[in-house]
Amino acid sequence: MIVFDLACTDSHRFEGWFASSAEFERQQGRGLIVCPYCGDTQVVKAPMAPAVPAKTNARGADRAVPVAGNAPPPAMQQALAALAKAQAEMLKDSKWVGRKFAETSRQMHYGDAEHRPIHGQATLAEAKALVEEGVTVAPLPLPVAPPEELN
């Protein structure tokens, strides 16, 4: 039994267990190796992480910064998927108003516009001002792509 670190074209990393190196190549050639995160079959052996950091002259470059070399574990992927589904359900009847969120919320709050569920973008300052005026707003757990960017 041999274990390979594998990576898909989206750079998701995962382990694959094979009877032999030849068996890995056979499965890879037939597209039988599937990324558990995105279903991609363009899977290759992941390059080894360099053991020695690249030399640099920049001061402070050796300061530790948080990094993730691996895709989130499947449990987290599932949690995110469930969250995304819940959010999509919540926004099903909601209208995207983009950057007009603060303006539209205010109009509805003061009766200048018909009340309806909306979602859009607001700066932190705008959201804070709305809350202070008594307008009910809530941050969405996940970012929402504006509809015009989905095309």
Q: Is 10 in the site for Zn ion (CB under 5 A)?
A: yes
Beta bridge partners of 7: 13, 44
Q: Minimum Å distance from CB 76 to Zn ion? A: 14
Q: Which stretch binds Zn ion (CB under 5 A): 22-30, 35-43, 50-58, 62-70?
A: 35-43
**Which of 99, 80, 83, 102 is CA-nearest to residue 91?**
83
Whose Cβ is closer to Zn ion: residue 40's or residue 126's?
40
Q: How does 4-13 read in b/e, with b if 16+ C-beta sit within 10 Å?
A: bebbbeeebb
Q: Which of 12, 18, 101, 122 binds Zn ion (CB under 5 A)?
A: 12
Strand order in the sheet with 13-18: 13-18, 2-7, 44-45
Whose Cβ is closer to Zn ion: residue 79's or residue 140's?
79
Q: Minimum Å distance from CB 91 to Zn ion? A: 26
CA atoms within 13 A on the CB side of 80: 10
Q: Which of 4, 6, 8, 102 binds Zn ion (CB under 5 A)?
A: 8
Q: Is 140 in the site for Zn ion (CB under 5 A)?
A: no
Whose Cβ is closer to Zn ion: residue 35's or residue 102's?
35
Q: Minimum Å distance from CB 12 to Zn ion? A: 3
How many other C-beta atoms are found inside a 10 Å radius of the C-beta of residue 106? 16
Q: Is 15 in the site for Zn ion (CB under 5 A)?
A: no
Residues 6+ apart with CB under 8 A from 66: none
CA atoms within 13 A on the CB side of 104: 18
Name the residues that contact Zn ion, by CB under 5 A: 8, 10, 12, 35, 37-38, 40
